[in-house]
Structure 1
């Protein structure tokens, strides 16, 4: 982006370039405040006109009018919040803090508008007489649910308080995410001496050198708190003292005394969510949140989490005993600690499977894994991808591709932003600069994947771990859900589905990476271009279930704490760290494992709250993905055309046009069976009673 605004505001003009993509070459941070102000004014006028319409409510003058409203605001907000996550700055963070409550207020003006609600409620009551097609009936139903769940039908005092809560939560959510980013940016482990690099593979040394250069420390090596840096350091560093130092900083994000302390922020968020839920007539925020999901109730989510917790705990205990034995064999007299687990697990993987991640990484080039994700989309759905360099993007690292369907027509623009940098929030996600719709003609989506892979040294290709490659496929599965959307109404487009269904298209897509047919084609050495040797490929696939006790415990503990925290109904502030500690003790959490996301930096549930009381959704969707991919495996063809067509029609292209259970059954022909999940994670044997 440029640094100074010049002339007219490009955010408010028609975008006439290729794909009508945002004109980043003309944008300045200074454009956002006036653009938001103008777009909000336009959107408020549109909403006021719908609510004040003197004519009897119709589907056209109410529901379709709502769907057409706020398009300029959507355009501005989509650009801004993509930048706030992927390429932030102090200026952008300041605007984010300002605009978050303003946008929340605007949302309240819509969803707590009694006159609007009466129009929608009247249409909903008469829905059987309106002659609606199935998609129109679905969009009306979803609007009725959204307004009802927002509290539009409540008395004035309750609606006023709900509006206040919504604005405050928006401020707190933005603050929470910015605090985590600040802690991550502030910390670097500088490796000064040669011994500080002990055990680190060449690729990690090169990445640490590049990270040092990026921070003005040329000639040194830096480990950051980004997962692509800290996790491999914990996996390979022979320096136990440095592992502990880095791990403690990683675990303490958001829990430092001072301006970035998230403990009080999270506490207030939990209290306000509980108050909101009670105002809306629910027992707790968890009950409120899950009422509109596949799970329906907190108990259903807990039952699933409990079903994996016990076998995972037993598996983790076996894994820990094996690690402790390795320590003893080396002459160590210490108990395995959280900063030891990854290091000794890697040693154990090498010993038990003769598999060293350093041996597989040269075969997992980033560009080849991108190519593999595109190839699977081609075989399944007929998509092709053509890179283009004529579209200015939000950062020089980003790449764009026109996506074509079988008949050669463009279907989407895909943007990949793959490398970690200080201005980018940690994690991996899919977002959109524009969603698909065809209310007033075909609008093609612009979808972006944002990841945080370590950049290689100059002139070298970036190499991925197998987990990195799986993350790439996961996020691309989300991208496909957005790009293949084929609906009329924006409200139902792409990934606008319940949280415990939205992960199904992404998680099921991961399965294609793990197939020998795919790895033989795309896992090629970055120097020789030779395919991964068959013995190494076999070891890689055999080791897929390795360390799954650990992986399942760190995830499930996070999901259980999230769920139980949102089942509380605190009148006063709750000590979220004390709650976390007590709940983990009750669960029997192993001392050598911590939650994948500790509460003070749990951005899934506090930074915007998209997964609040819903982090269980990954496991819920994994039931669907394990069971769903089994259909392809049973067919003997991982690209079986009829199954791929059903997956496309009922899931990837359908958006939220149907109930998720019906969508899954439409694809699979029956409801999901959870046994495939336990088998996939290796938590039961194929011959066990649980698997039958």
Structure 2
């Protein structure tokens, strides 16, 4: 079979030839690329030359490039444009790739060479990036079982293989649950309260599903959120909420409770094999936070500062509902509805007022202009780069000297083959080899309000901040300037990775930035100053509630992963475990069937296990860092250059606290976050 994945990519900038790749190409390519990678690894392990940094550590860094390219395409497609064949290929490939990785880390000859180089690191003249690569390579072997006995190694491999299968199944179940559900409305009076944009979108969805004359709402964010915020029909809000919060918790073939218990058990066992008391201890050893106690203290402090005010916010909403004549026992499906109404009353602002100023194409242009003003890079849309779906657009990113910085893929609307949420990913990281700098291929994937026959894609302000957030991640990947791909871009400590994304959101609230792109899609008028004032004034609205919510998720994450192997065995009921873990953060009565755990992809199908706290942790960093921009000017070239040089371009080449202190002149302080959130 003529397999495009195994050939040189004869495309602009050697981008993936999506127009030629078929589902059946993946497994043959994975198997062939593993053979090639094994040959390269064997050559490194079995060479007779004395181990050196160059012939062992650096050689390993560049081994298996073809396998990395093929697997990144497969797994990215499985998130952004999957189908049954791609899911099947991913399920087949995952355990094979896990076994390949384990074989490398448990290769005694190879580890012997790595260890020999590591033990003489003080005598080697290495720069900081080389020191980091050596340290990370050695630690990776230790943390992946290289020092275990043969029986333990075999068990370690079994666990890793099974975990790769389980995390995939978890994500597939949630995606299927999301795609399977429809709230079908055929009585127009049930649309009361909904904005025209949501009604039109629901009609378009119904039409696309062969249900002309009806309205269909789904569990995708652009459909779910407007309904929960605006629909007057309380029983339908309850119905949609229960469907959303019971994903993969119905005791059927898509149920994730047994998967959760097995994942938590296996991760705990794997950590114990390596000598760690808990999985969280294993993870946090390689984080800025360094340990469970520090994370727990951080979360406890956040909860202490936010919970009383969050309780006041809930009390206020209850009183407001009664003021409107709605004598109800406030439930979770009421929160967004009354919260949105009170916000409109307090600030005379809502999503529908702002949407006309946030046409997607204009917001994207604003993102590009912001990046250009800060970092002197330019974006040009091109149509000669193959894409995996017709909705994807591609851009050349170049610097002031017209040199390529990156290729950027933009994929912004929901569809059945795409998982929910928003993320940044890469098809190739930046690195240097043979005197050449290889530039990255970077993608943002989101699920924004789509266009309709009547209107272009008009974003909510929350979607605007999401776009800026994910583009902040993209800038981290684009502006990498390191030697080694495993240390560039977003390859940093997990509780540092959200700094570049979260800091970029701050520009959305500033007039100087909004004036670049926030124009009415019909009249071209700039967003009025009074709207900008309202955006800023309302930015702390229910921030305490949001902080408690995020903290509750982080506490749930830590509860699962800070148990010993003996304690893990006591999880009999996932719902009861979750209720206990989140008890001190609860602001509403429990809803039967509602469960966060069974859809918590971040910690069961993604990389955030023992790391969900990092969102709030990074908020401390981003608020503190942006305070310097505010002080000097949000487009101050000197501050921007410093952030680029010390944070964005450095990736994970040095310890993040050292990079941050180099930029800020000191360690971060929580004060800026508390002030911004109105919690000080």
Q: Same fold (TM over 0.5)?
A: yes
Q: Residue 631 of structure 2: which of 608, 619, 634 is its match?
A: 634
Instruction: Give the total of aligned pairs.
Output: 675
Give the 3 Å change call, closer, same or farther, for CA 597–516 of structure 1 in structure 2: farther
Question: Any conservation in 2 of the 1:209–1:457 contact (CA below 8 Å)?
Answer: no
By how many angstroms is 1:330 displaced? 2.5
Secondary structure of the corresponding residue to residue 438 of structure 1: strand
For residues 433 and 586 of structure 2, what CA distance do their matches in structure 1 show? 51
**Aligned position for 2:466:** 471
User: Unpaired segments of 5 or more residues in structure 2?
Assistant: none
**Aligned position for 2:586:** 589
1:272-319 Cα distance to aligned partner (Å, 9 max, x none)? 111111111111001110011100001111111111112221121111
For residues 604 and 113 of structure 1, what CA distance do their matches in structure 2 show? 31
Q: Residue 658 of structure 2: which of 656, 659, 662 is its match?
A: 662
**Aligned position for 1:613:** 610
By how many angstroms is 1:565 displaced? 1.2
Task: Using the TM superposition, name which of 452-461 and 121-130 deviates more.
Answer: 452-461
1:622 aligns with 2:619: yes
By how many angstroms is 1:455 displaced? 0.8
**Aligned position for 2:440:** 445
Question: Any conservation in 2 of the 1:577–1:600 contact (CA below 8 Å)?
Answer: no
1:678 aligns with 2:660: no
For residues 458 and 547 of structure 1, what CA distance do their matches in structure 2 show? 35
Give the 3 Å change call, closer, same or farther, for CA 133–604 of structure 1 in structure 2: same
For residues 542 and 211 of structure 2, what CA distance do their matches in structure 1 show? 36
For residues 542 and 309 of structure 1, what CA distance do their matches in structure 2 show? 23
By how many angstroms is 1:209 displaced? 2.0
1:515 aligns with 2:513: no
For residues 145 and 650 of structure 1, what CA distance do their matches in structure 2 show? 25
**Aligned position for 1:62:** 56
1:201-227 Cα distance to aligned partner (Å, 9 max, x none)? 111112222222332323322111112
Secondary structure of the corresponding residue to residue 498 of structure 2: helix
By how many angstroms is 1:331 displaced? 2.4
By how many angstroms is 1:597 displaced? 8.3
The aligned runs of 1:110-149 (5 Å cut-off) are: 110-149=104-143
By how many angstroms is 1:335 displaced? 1.4
For residues 450 and 129 of structure 1, what CA distance do their matches in structure 2 show? 45
Secondary structure of the corresponding residue to residue 336 of structure 1: coil
1:619-643 Cα distance to aligned partner (Å, 9 max, x none)? 11111000000001112x1011111
Task: Using the TM superposition, name which of 41-50 and 640-649 deviates more.
Answer: 41-50
1:181-202 Cα distance to aligned partner (Å, 9 max, x none)? 0100110111211012111111
1:16 aligns with 2:14: no
Question: Any conservation in 2 of the 1:117–1:153 contact (CA below 8 Å)?
Answer: no
For residues 508 and 10 of structure 1, what CA distance do their matches in structure 2 show? 39
**Aligned position for 2:395:** 401
**Aligned position for 1:153:** 147
**Aligned position for 2:537:** 542
For residues 125 and 212 of structure 2, what CA distance do their matches in structure 1 show? 68
1:44-85 Cα distance to aligned partner (Å, 9 max, x none)? 221122222222111121112111111111111111111100
By how many angstroms is 1:596 displaced? 12
For residues 370 and 301 of structure 2, what CA distance do their matches in structure 1 show? 32
**Aligned position for 1:3:** none
By how many angstroms is 1:165 displaced? 0.7
The aligned runs of 1:384-399 (5 Å cut-off) are: 384-399=378-393
Secondary structure of the corresponding residue to residue 482 of structure 2: coil
Question: Any conservation in 1 of the 2:314–2:587 contact (CA below 8 Å)?
Answer: no
For residues 675 and 152 of structure 2, what CA distance do their matches in structure 1 show? 48
TM-score, normalising length: structure 1 = 0.95
**Aligned position for 2:641:** 645
For residues 171 and 115 of structure 1, what CA distance do their matches in structure 2 show? 29
Task: Using the TM superposition, name which of 387-396 and 311-320 deviates more.
Answer: 311-320
Question: Any conservation in 1 of the 2:425–2:444 contact (CA below 8 Å)?
Answer: yes
Question: Any conservation in 1 of the 2:509–2:532 contact (CA below 8 Å)?
Answer: no
For residues 646 and 530 of structure 1, what CA distance do their matches in structure 2 show? 35
By how many angstroms is 1:89 displaced? 0.5
For residues 588 and 40 of structure 1, what CA distance do their matches in structure 2 show? 47
Give the 3 Å change call, closer, same or farther, for CA 95–323 of structure 1 in structure 2: same
For residues 596 and 294 of structure 1, what CA distance do their matches in structure 2 show? 33
For residues 57 and 209 of structure 1, what CA distance do their matches in structure 2 show? 66
1:419 aligns with 2:392: no
For residues 662 and 28 of structure 1, what CA distance do their matches in structure 2 show? 45
TM-score, normalising length: structure 2 = 0.97
For residues 201 and 193 of structure 2, what CA distance do their matches in structure 1 show? 14
Question: Any conservation in 1 of the 2:548–2:585 contact (CA below 8 Å)?
Answer: no
For residues 224 and 211 of structure 1, what CA distance do their matches in structure 2 show? 9
For residues 546 and 536 of structure 1, what CA distance do their matches in structure 2 show? 15
By how many angstroms is 1:253 displaced? 0.9
By how many angstroms is 1:588 displaced? 4.5
Secondary structure of the corresponding residue to residue 423 of structure 1: coil
For residues 454 and 678 of structure 2, what CA distance do their matches in structure 1 show? 40
Question: Any conservation in 2 of the 1:419–1:452 contact (CA below 8 Å)?
Answer: yes
For residues 277 and 407 of structure 1, what CA distance do their matches in structure 2 show? 49
Question: Any conservation in 1 of the 2:246–2:595 contact (CA below 8 Å)?
Answer: no
User: Unpaired segments of 5 or more residues in structure 1?
Assistant: 1-6, 685-692
The aligned runs of 1:168-187 (5 Å cut-off) are: 168-187=162-181
Secondary structure of the corresponding residue to residue 401 of structure 1: strand
Question: Any conservation in 1 of the 2:246–2:594 contact (CA below 8 Å)?
Answer: no
Question: Any conservation in 2 of the 1:267–1:573 contact (CA below 8 Å)?
Answer: no
For residues 80 and 110 of structure 1, what CA distance do their matches in structure 2 show? 21
Task: Using the TM superposition, name which of 594-603 and 26-35 deviates more.
Answer: 594-603
